[in-house]
Amino acid sequence: MPAALLRDHTTKTGVWARIVVREGALRYHVDRFDVHVDVTPDAPAIVVPEVPHHIEPLGAVRFHVELYRVDSRSEEP
C-alpha cells in the first residue's frame, strides 16, 4: 500500500473515487467533517473531489481504487 494513502491527500478537481475492498477492511477518514467509515467488501466508500482524506488498514486488506471524472466534452452547450 502506498504510504501516501495513509496521509491526507485529495483527488483533483472533478475527479471522484470509489474505494473497493476485496478482502479485509479499512477505515476511510475525512477529518474535516469528522467522518470515519469502515470500508468492507460489502460497503465501498465514495471519495469526493478535492476533500482531504486518508485511509487506515484494519489488519490485512486487499483493495483497489476506481477513479472517475466528469468529461466536460460530453456536456451539452
Phi and psi of 12, rounded to 5°?
Answer: -75, 170
DSSP per-residue letters across 5-30: GGS-B-PPTTEEEEEEEEES-EEEEE
In this prediction, residue 62 has a pLDDT band, given cuts at 50, 70 and 90, of very high
Give me the numbers of helices (H) and strands (E) for the chain, helices first please. 0, 6
pLDDT digits (tens, 9 = 90+) for 34-58: 999 999 999 999 999 999 999 999 9
Fold annotation for 3-68: Jelly Rolls (2.60.120)
Model confidence at 72, pLDDT cuts 50, 70, 90, reads low
Q: Where are the domains of the chain?
A: 3-68
| pLDDT, averaged across the chain | 93
Contact 53, 47 (CB under 8 A): yes
